[in-house]
Structure 1
Amino acid sequence: MTASTPGGRRVRIALQLQPQHAEYRQIRDTVLRAEDLGVDVIFNWDHFFPLHGDPDGKHFECWTMLGAWAEQTERVEIGALVTCNSYRNPELLADMARTVDHMSGGRLILGIGAGWFQKDYDQFGYEFGTPGRRIARLAADLPRIRARLAAGNPAPTRDIPILVGGGGERKTLRVVAEHADIWHSFSDLETLRRKSAILDEHGAAIGRDTARAVERSVAPHGEPEQAGEALVAAGATLLAIGVSGPDHDLTRLARWIAWRDAQG
């Protein structure tokens, strides 16, 4: 049995396997363990350096890894939480996504955001610019991504779900309302509630029922017995548990999976 929201959307548990401070063989083995545990989605992230711990520690690239996961896994959906829109031409990114979609048999989620980690930009030669310019570029690039996906031969195996991450109330949530199938909120419960309502206001302004059309995703704080029910009541149905290297302790992830299965 699986939990569902009052509106009927099934609750899913994701692992964000942060590709830092570990050998790749450890990452590969953790993907297998997580799929065996029953997780619904496995994400990585799109950075070039660790975000936590030793800033110059071990790290691996996002999309190369997703191609390997597509071949390695059998059931879980896979994706980035999230791809940085600044790092790749949008048409190229769309074709990468189409290819991983086929490699995985239709299990890719295209997670994307405007970008924020300046070290990545500086060390790899990208222009950092301003938050407003990066969000504007994301808004302009998403239609190009959809157009290139539609033009690919062979076409994607399904309408690849687009997850947009971020919480800027005036600009980012407007992009979510216009383009996203899933919204990931990097926030706590109260902020999730408030920004979810703002997202629906943007949806109403453009004639889209985002309460139904856009799934809410969040990284839970705390344990499922204390946090799970309130998150579901707030509309969150994709709950992403972050795990870093080198040890990749999946104990907390297992508790969230067990909670999901116990809801009935």
Structure 2
Amino acid sequence: MTSAATRPVRIGLQLQPQHADYATIRRAAAQAEELGVDILFNWDHFYPLSGEPEGKHFECWTMLGAWAEATSRVEIGALVTCNSYRNPELLADMARTVDHISDGRLILGIGAGWFEKDYEEYGYEFGTAGGRIDDLAQALPRIENRLAKLNPAPTRKIPVLIGGGGEKKTLKLVARHADIWHGFGEVETATRKVRILDEHCADVGRDPAEIERSVGVEESPEKSAAQLHDLGITMFTVATGGPDYDFGLLREWLAWRDEQNG
């Protein structure tokens, strides 16, 4: 099992780009940076995932480009980009561009995709879950190859975050390609996923300590933070949606982070 001792605790915030005007989202991003959040995420959907299904919503990557200019310290990224919506080479170029705009603060979060309404409304083939994961497996090396060819090159090795917990396919892709794995914060489930990820790392000859472990959290840190941290999980991401972005839970996790990091 990977020790958490070698990495500082980091706190992410997913600002869900739904049910709010962009000016409100931008103010929330600025406030989160002022509070000291480590990573600021949005998501890659075309419609709200909760509340009014046809409510206000904004696109992911154009927003990341704006955040790259509107922020100065916090890392930014999608939690997560849907692989189905963009050609892999194009996505690599987009990531490289936002990497430069942000002076090296982009995290390339990516996953296989799952929200059927997005696919149907925007004309993408939904297919099957297995097929979408197979597509992601084909896309990741293409993204890596394109990043290596671009001129100018990225400002750094852009960290790749893969979201998902599929034990046979997705976690195997994490072992091969990811710098960060993102799952969900239920202790029993996380315990199993971490063990299986370590096994996949062993199968491909990779040191599991190279992969930062991340979970989404919905409860106060007193509930499960210590147990998750003992599993080697060091990134914890709180989500909040519009129209009024509530930072109460985020403040609790930031305070816990500061206690852990000394």
TM superposition score normalised by structure 2: 0.97
State the aligned residue count: 259
Match of 2:158 among 146, 160, 179: 160
Q: Could you tell me which residue of structure 1 aligns to residue 126 of structure 2?
A: 128
Q: Is the CA contact (8 Å cut-off) linking 1:85 and 1:138 kept in structure 2?
A: yes
Q: Could you tell me which residue of structure 2 aligns to residue 226 of structure 1?
A: 223
Distance 1:6 1:204 in 2: 18
TM-superposition CA deviations, 1:160-197 (whole Å, max 9, x none): 00000001100111111110000001351111110110
Counterpart residue identity of residue 34, structure 2 = D
1:52 maps to 2:34: no
Structure 1: give runs of 5+ residues left out of the alignment.
none
Q: Is the CA contact (8 Å cut-off) linking 1:22 and 1:245 kept in structure 2?
A: yes
Residue aligned with 1:259, SS: helix
Q: Could you tell me which residue of structure 2 aligns to residue 19 of structure 1?
A: 17
Distance 1:58 1:234 in 2: 38
Counterpart residue identity of residue 213, structure 1 = E
Q: Is the CA contact (8 Å cut-off) linking 2:8 and 2:234 kept in structure 1?
A: yes
Distance 1:46 1:226 in 2: 29
Q: Could you tell me which residue of structure 2 aligns to residue 114 of structure 1?
A: 112
Q: Is the CA contact (8 Å cut-off) linking 1:218 and 1:238 kept in structure 2?
A: yes
Distance 1:249 1:6 in 2: 29
Q: Could you tell me which residue of structure 2 aligns to residue 235 of structure 1?
A: 232
Distance 1:236 1:258 in 2: 17
Distance 1:236 1:50 in 2: 29
Mapping 1:21-100, distance limit 5 Å: 21-100=19-98
Distance 1:81 1:98 in 2: 17
Q: Which range moves more in the overlay, 227-236 or 19-28?
A: 227-236
Q: Could you tell me which residue of structure 1 aligns to residue 193 of structure 2?
A: 195
Using the TM superposition, give the Cα deviation of residue 225 of structure 1 relative to its aligned residue in structure 2, in angstroms: 2.2
Distance 1:6 1:162 in 2: 19
Q: RMSD in angstroms over aligned alpha carbons?
A: 0.9
Distance 2:94 2:106 in 1: 11
Match of 2:138 among 134, 137, 140: 140
Q: Could you tell me which residue of structure 2 aligns to residue 249 of structure 1?
A: 246
Residue aligned with 1:33, SS: helix
Distance 1:226 1:195 in 2: 19
Distance 1:255 1:185 in 2: 20
Distance 2:147 2:27 in 1: 31
Structure 2: give runs of 5+ residues left out of the alignment.
none
Q: Could you tell me which residue of structure 1 aligns to residue 213 of structure 2?
A: 216
Distance 1:137 1:16 in 2: 25
Counterpart residue identity of residue 142, structure 1 = L
Counterpart residue identity of residue 230, structure 1 = Q
Q: Is the CA contact (8 Å cut-off) linking 1:22 and 1:246 kept in structure 2?
A: yes
Using the TM superposition, give the Cα deviation of residue 6 of structure 1 relative to its aligned residue in structure 2, in angstroms: 4.0
Q: Is the CA contact (8 Å cut-off) linking 1:165 and 1:186 kept in structure 2?
A: no
